[in-house]
Amino acid sequence: MTKKVFISSTCVDLKDYRQTAIEVVNRYKYTPLVMEFFLSQPDEPEVVCEKEIKECDIFVGIYAHRFGYTPKQSKKSITQLEYELATNEKKDCLCFLIDDKANWPFNLN
């Protein structure tokens, strides 16, 4: 059975990193699970993400400077909620954080 890898990050600033992660997952013949692939589903994003994270084998989090989309009725970003669910579900997690001193050209305003 093919392993499923959920890739979590903010999208606008980390688009290239997300794409690279998808390519690496595909290279290993695993199945990438990313929001871009399930945007057409009728449920709210947080509901879809919860379902996909529960079904994944590995969680990959890529984090930089943006907080990300915050669902209604929440003070947490969907990216934070994804990470919390993955850890609560005891998924194998690989998390990548940008170095605070790294040159980050993306305009965050």
Q: pLDDT at position 8, please?
A: 97
**Domain count of the fold of the chain:** 1
Q: Where is 24: in which H helix or E strand? A: helix 15-27
The percent of residues in the chain predicted with pLDDT above 70, rounded, is 95
Q: Are 74 and 81 in contact (CB under 8 A)?
A: yes
Q: Indicate whether 103 belongs to any domain.
A: no
CATH code assigned at 32? 3.40.50.10140
59 is in which domain, residue-wise? 4-97
b/e burial code for range 71-86 (CB count within 10 A of at least 16 → b): eeeeeebbbbbbbebb
Q: Mean pLDDT, to the nearest integer, of 30-51? A: 85
Q: Indicate whether 105 belongs to any domain.
A: no
Q: pLDDT at position 1, please?
A: 81
Q: What are phi and psi of 13, to 5 degrees?
A: -85, -20
Angstrom distance (rounded) from CA 28 to CA 49? 23
**pTM of this structure:** 0.90
